[in-house]
C-alpha cells in the first residue's frame, strides 16, 4: 500500500490517505472515435477509458505484434480477435485497430485492411502506429 500525503491546511484531519497499488497501475487513456473523420476526432470531446486489466490488454497486443514480426498475420488476427472479445472498449482499443489494419493488409485482405486503416488514420493523429499502418496498407501520407 502506498500512502499519499495531503499538505493543504484545509485538508481533512486524516493526513495520510492509502492508495491501492492496483489503482495506480490501471490505465486511464483517451479514446478517439474511429470512423468519425479528422474534424470530429479533433474537435469532439474525448472520453476517458479505463481498464482494470491493462497488463492483459498489453500482453495480447504485444503477442499480436510479435506474430506480425514473425510474418504470421493470421495468428496476429487471432490475438486481436481475443483482445476485442475480452476488452471491446478497452484502453488500448485504438491501438488494437491500428495493429488489426496492419495484419489485414499483410494477410492479403487488403480491401478490408485499407478501409480500417483509413478509419484509424482519420481518427488517430498521434499514434505511434501511423507510419506502420500506412506502410503495410500502401497508403500515401496526405498533407493536411
Query: Residue 57: exposed, middle, or buried by beta-carbon count in 10 A (0-12, 13-18, 19+)?
Result: buried
pTM over cut 0.75: no
Quote the pLDDT of residue 52: 80
Q: Among candidates 136, 138, 65, which has minimal Cα distance to 107? A: 136
- pLDDT by residue (tens digit) across 111-127? 999 999 999 999 988 89
Beta-bridged to residue 19, according to DSSP, are 2
Domain count, the chain: 1
Q: Does residue 75 belong to any structural domain of this protein? A: yes
CATH of the domain at 82: 1.25.40.10
Q: Residue 89 pLDDT > 60, yes or no? A: yes
Q: Does residue 82 belong to any structural domain of this protein? A: yes
- Give the domain extent around 106: 27-137
Quote the pLDDT of residue 10: 41
Quote the pLDDT of residue 143: 64
Amino acid at each position: 500500500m502506498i500512502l499519499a500525503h495531503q499538505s493543504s491546511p484545509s485538508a481533512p484531519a486524516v493526513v495520510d490517505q492509502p492508495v491501492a497499488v492496483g489503482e495506480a497501475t490501471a490505465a486511464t487513456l483517451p479514446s478517439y472515435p474511429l470512423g468519425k473523420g479528422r474534424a470530429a476526432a479533433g474537435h469532439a470531446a474525448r472520453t476517458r477509458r479505463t481498464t482494470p486489466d491493462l497488463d492483459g490488454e498489453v500482453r495480447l497486443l504485444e503477442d499480436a505484434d510479435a506474430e506480425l514480426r514473425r510474418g504470421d498475420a493470421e495468428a496476429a488476427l487471432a490475438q486481436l480477435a481475443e483482445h476485442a472479445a475480452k476488452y471491446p472498449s478497452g484502453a488500448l482499443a485504438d491501438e488494437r485497430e491500428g495493429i488489426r489494419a496492419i495484419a489485414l493488409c499483410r494477410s492479403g485482405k487488403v480491401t478490408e485492411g485499407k478501409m480500417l486503416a483509413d478509419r484509424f488514420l482519420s481518427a488517430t493523429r498521434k499514434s505511434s502506429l501511423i507510419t506502420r499502418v500506412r506502410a503495410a496498407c500502401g497508403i500515401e501520407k496526405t498533407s493536411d
